Amino acid sequence: MKRLSILLIALVISTSVFANSKDSIPANPNDVSSVNAIIKAVYDVISGPAGEKRNWDRMRTLFTMDARLIPTGKKETGEGTRRAMSLEDYITSSGSFLEKNGFFESEIGRKTERYGNIVHLFSTYESKKTLQDEKPFMRGINSFQLWNDGKRWWVITILWEGETKDNPIPEQYIGTIN
């Protein structure tokens, strides 16, 4: 009887874990077929003119359920700070700002390292409020951690830091996408 109870508990737990690992809507295969495709899709989803709704359902298909988005920076005191968010936290905290103000983020450089099914890459970005803006209002580096489950690519983490006058982006991270 005890073994049967343990087996039933294990079955319930494994069923709920596998059920939670599936997309609520299927990912577009073109978005998740390669490292280039998934990075392009992330930038595409968050970018758009003022007043345009973002496709948050598409964004959800790019990330694992336990993914984290982590902006970093410095307080006025100089102390480092970070905020770890789930994808839903990010959508709630940043979504209305992106949609209200217009936001276009594009990749201007990349350094990639891969081992088996995991990839780490520094994706240097610049952000503009409109595509016509001559100068970006912000630049920085997104540190992506990606994973391939044998079928497709997933975003596990994006950790980022914006450029400051005290912390300029080194030239080695601009202009080359490898």
For residue range 118-168, what is the model confidence (pLDDT) as tens digits? 999 999 999 999 999 999 999 999 999 999 999 999 999 999 999 999 999
- What pLDDT is attached to residue 178? 66
| pLDDT over 50 at 90, yes or no | yes
Q: What angle do CA 129, 43, 86 make, to 5 degrees?
A: 105
List beta partners, residue 120: 113, 145
Burial-class residue 169 by CB neighbours within 10 Å (0-12, 13-18, 19+).
Answer: buried
Domain ranges of the chain: 26-173
Architecture (CATH level 2) of domain 26-173: Roll (3.10)
> What share of the chain has pLDDT > 70, as a percent?
86
pLDDT at 82 over 60: yes
